[in-house]
Amino acid sequence: MLDNSKWTAGEPVVCIIDDEEPVRDSLLELFDAASLHAIAYENASDFLNRGKLERAGCILLDVNLPDVNGLEFQPQLAAAGS
């Protein structure tokens, strides 16, 4: 996991939701190299429990998650106010 201490609280964030650790790590490195704040989550439940839905940004969502299909997850995001 990359050091997130250099990012400010109000800064937009890219939320990566993917069950494959190498994919998450690679994407974190890619966004860090582009000076974009990114946070990775292992599954949709983890994101809903720990994610910052009030922050501006985007979600990079794996369509084939083990706990929920990425397309099925979109209504859950809407219900959570995102």
Token representation of residue 54: 């009030």
Residue 82 has pLDDT above 50, yes or no: yes
Contacts of 42 (CB under 8 A, 6+ apart): 17, 18, 19, 21, 24
Look at residue 2 in the predicted model and tell me its pLDDT.
46
Q: What digits encode the pLDDT tens for the residues 22-73?
A: 999 999 999 999 999 999 999 988 888 886 666 768 899 898 888 888 788 8
- Angstrom distance (rounded) from CA 44 to CA 63: 11
Pairing of strands 13-17, 57-61: parallel
* Closest by Cα among 74, 78, 46 to 61: 74
Q: Which two tokens stand for residue 43?
A: 């599954």
Which among 79, 81, 66, 78 is positioned nearest to 17, based on CA atoms? 66
